[in-house]
Amino acid sequence: MNNDEKIEWEKCQKCGFLQHSSHIRCLNCKHEKFDRVKATGNAKLLNYTILKAPPAEFRDKPHYTLGILEFENGIKVLGQIDSNDQVKIGIEMRPVYRKISNNLDGKEVYDYAFEPI
């Protein structure tokens, strides 16, 4: 993974529940204190879908794949999948920080995409 960009979640200090950092309280027990947890290792593809009518930002592609992936330490993410022909539930993938699109104002948007190992 890129050293400057990290995939991080929060782990509740009371019950250990992992959740996105946008929540102010634990979704499981309502506790308000968390530890930051970085995604570690590679990710396993849990499920995916192929979008054939992409939003305006992705209209330069006829379709693209989104997947739900789980890292070795339990962090789950939604991300673009780079390879349509090799996609199979259960495969190991690695995150790659790259340009994923241009927004509607033409500005480049960067995020993690996933590619098969």
Q: 8 is in which domain, residue-wise?
A: 1-38
59 and 87 together in one domain: yes
58 and 90 together in one domain: yes
Phi and psi angles of residue 58, each rounded to the nearest 5 degrees, phi first: -115, 20
* pLDDT for the residue 3: 44
* pLDDT for the residue 79: 92
Alpha-carbon span 69 to 72, nearest angstrom: 10
Tell me how long the chain is. 117
46 and 70 together in one domain: yes
Q: Pick from 25-29, 95-99, 100-104 the range whose average pLDDT is largest.
A: 25-29
Can you state the percent helix, strand and coil of the chain, rounding each to 5?
5, 45, 50
The 10s digit of each residue's pLDDT in 43-97 is 999 999 998 888 888 777 888 899 999 999 999 999 999 876 778 999 999 999 9
* pLDDT for the residue 106: 83
Look at residues 41, 50, 48 and name the one whose alpha carbon lies nearest to residue 93: 41
The amino acid at 61: K
Per-residue DSSP letter, 20: -
